[in-house]
Amino acid sequence: MLIKKPADIPSSEITPKSLYLNRRKFLAGTVISGAASVAGMSLGELAEPMTVQANTKVEGIQESSFSTTEKITPLKDVSNYNNYYEFSTDKYEPAKLAKDFKTRPWTVTIDGQVKKKQVLDVDAIMKMATPEERIYRHRCVEGWSIVVPWVGFSLSELINKVDPMPKAKFIEFTTVLDPNHMPGQRTGVLEWPYVEGLRMDEAMHPLALLCFGMYGESLPNQDGAPLRIVVPWKYGFKSAKAIVRIHFTDKQPINTWNKSAPNEYGFYSNVNPNVDHPRWSQAKERRLGEFFKRPTLMFNGYDQVASLYSGMDLKKNF
């Protein structure tokens, strides 16, 4: 008899735990709520860090014209069902394992092809521009999606302040390396630290968000505190979490998932229902907390970015 191991089963086909536990209520007609990646600086090198609570209110938030009007996914789902391999490959474990993760003090190194190389405190970065609340769709490559009110400002605000050189064509994001407090980094599931990258014009697009909050409050640890990016037209793994280095370069970064499985994860990773993952279809998605699937939209519905890829073969450049 063939028995499938957990690794053989794509996450998109696994019924969320709370949907399973409430199946009788669903069948009875009751509405249910489903259950809802690093510079090589270790946090252990920083002295006496303090914990910044995830429920710290972010002051002075403005509404954004970029927001979708779709129904927001409940915070309890988004903060308890997470893709965060630094802590665990199990989506229900990061919330528990990241609970006491220290996010202060925290600095971000800006270097490479940039005129104003510097090391910035994360709290100083947060004060660079007026925070906005942007309600974005966010899709995971495995077939599930969320709608979250992220808090931050356009990544371009930071980029303009550090003055990239003309040779800078890409930005590479490196996230924190801290295996003492991130148990997933003590495994070989990926090569650590986690690295991601964007082409410069992608990073400069106003939709690309430098994010430090959600639902009006500071980011929970399991959602990428204290600083992450959110690139809503790309699959979720492109939105690097717990960033410690932003490197400007003339060469296309070798991002972690592309290095791990190049036939499955390309550099661009745009949401594209016409390009299937080798192990599952990308044509449909399931919104976290919902039972039925819906069609996947090209660029996750953000048609504003289509011009960035004009003339490119999006099946070759996946």
List CB contacts of 212: < 8 A, sequence separation 6 or more. Answer: 58, 122, 125, 126, 131, 151, 152, 218, 219, 225, 226, 227, 228
CA distances from 156 to 112, 162, 182 (A): 17, 10, 30
Q: Which domains does the chain have, with CATH numbers?
A: 37-309 (3.90.420.10)
Q: What string of pLDDT tens digits covers the 318 residues of the chain?
A: 344 444 444 444 444 444 433 333 333 333 333 333 333 333 333 333 334 456 799 999 999 999 999 999 999 999 999 999 999 999 999 999 999 999 999 999 999 999 999 999 999 999 999 999 999 999 999 999 999 999 999 999 999 999 999 999 999 999 999 999 999 999 999 999 999 999 999 999 999 999 999 999 999 999 999 999 999 999 999 999 999 999 999 999 999 999 999 999 999 999 999 999 999 999 999 999 999 999 999 999 999 999 999 999 999 999
Distance (Å, whole) CA 122 – CA 110:
12
Is the CB of residue 72 less than 8 Å from the CB of residue 135?
yes
This prediction has a pTM of: 0.84
Per-residue b or e along 176-199, where b marks 16 or more CB atoms closer than 10 Å to that residue's CB: bbbbebbebbeeeebebbbbbbbb
CA dihedral 213, 217, 223, 225 (to 10 degrees): 70
Q: Position 170: which residue type?
A: F
